[in-house]
A = this chain, B = another copy of it.
Amino acid sequence: MRRSPVDYLHGTLETLILKTLTGGPRHGYAIARWIEEATDDTFPVEEGSLYPALYRMEKKGWVDAEWGTSELGRRVKLYRLTRAGRQQLTSDAAAWQAFASAVTRVLVKA
């Protein structure tokens, strides 16, 4: 029963998306590709997870969305980090570090 990194993904996707958007506005597809590349394809970002996550985040006021055009001339929905989203990222990153270091500490414990 191999546990894939994805099994742990719960809750971290939104944080990773927030982080992605600190590089400037991006559309969904680009966000997915960026995360995959940044993690060396450690986890695939499924569209069925990505888009619902973006809607939740828009609803919570962490991102703003507006329709635009990609470099390739396609119609895309651009997401931009709001001030609230930036604050959330700061808080999320700290919460993640606390969680990750606690788990690691336990797993490494003699």
With a cutoff of 8 Å between Cβ atoms, the chain B residues found around residue A104 in the complex are: 96-97, 100
Q: Is the interface of A mostly helix, strand, loop or mixed?
A: helix
With a cutoff of 8 Å between Cβ atoms, the chain B residues found around residue A100 in the complex are: 8, 100, 103-104
With a cutoff of 8 Å between Cβ atoms, the chain B residues found around residue A109 in the complex are: 19, 38
Mask for A85-96, Cβ within 8 A of B = 1, else 0? 000100111011
Kindly list the 5 A-B residue pairs having the minimum CB-CB distance in the complex, ordered from nearest. A10-B10, A5-B99, A7-B11, A39-B102, A42-B102
Interface residues in chain A, defined as those with a beta carbon under 8 Å from any beta carbon in chain B: 1-5, 7-12, 15-16, 19, 35, 38-40, 42-43, 60, 88, 91-93, 95-100, 102-107, 109
